[in-house]
Amino acid sequence: METTGVRRRWGIGVGIALAIAVVVALLAWLSNSMIERAWIVSYSSAGNELTVIYAPAGSCDTVLRTRATETDTAVDIVIVAVGPPPFVPTNASQDECVVTFELDAPLGGRLVTGRGLTP
C-alpha cells in the first residue's frame, strides 16, 4: 500500500515539473521570437551627432536598446525592438523612428553599418 502512495506522489511531482518545463520553454520561445533588430532606413551626421532613421519591428515605443559601437573605420548601429508575436500579420505602413547618437569623434569617412544598410 505504501509503495502505491509513494509512486502516486512521485508521478504527480514529475507531471508538475514537466508542465512547468513546457510552459517555460514556450514562454522563452515566444519572447525570443518577438525580439528582433530594427531596419535602418537612413542616417545623417552633423559634428559629433549621428542621427539614424529606422523602422522597428513594432512601433517606436517598443524599442528595447539602441547602441552605436565606434571603431577607427566604422560605426556599427544596433537597434533592438519587440515585434508582434509570430504569425501575426503586420501593417504595410511602417513607422519610422529617429534616434540620435553622440559619437566620440565626428563621423568623417567612417563607414556606418547596421541591419538594412549596404556597405
Residue with cell 505602413: 93
Q: Which domain holds residue 49?
A: 35-113
Q: Which of 19-33, 68-82, 92-106 has the highest mean pLDDT?
A: 68-82
Per-residue pLDDT, averaged over 9-26, amounts to 88
106 CB neighbour count, 10 Å cutoff: 13
Confidence grade of residue 93 (pLDDT, cut at 50, 70, 90): low
Residue 5 lies inside a defined structural domain of this protein: no
Q: Would you say 114 and 40 are in contact if contact means Cβ atoms under 8 Å apart?
A: yes
Strand partners, 42: 53
Residue 27 lies inside a defined structural domain of this protein: no
pTM over 0.85: no
pLDDT score for 98 = 93
pLDDT score for 44 = 94
Residue 13 lies inside a defined structural domain of this protein: no
Residue 99 lies inside a defined structural domain of this protein: yes
Residue 58 lies inside a defined structural domain of this protein: yes
Residue 102 lies inside a defined structural domain of this protein: yes
Residue 16 lies inside a defined structural domain of this protein: no
The count of domains in the chain is 1
pLDDT tens-digit readout, 19-66:
999 998 887 776 666 777 788 889 999 999 999 998 887 777 778 889
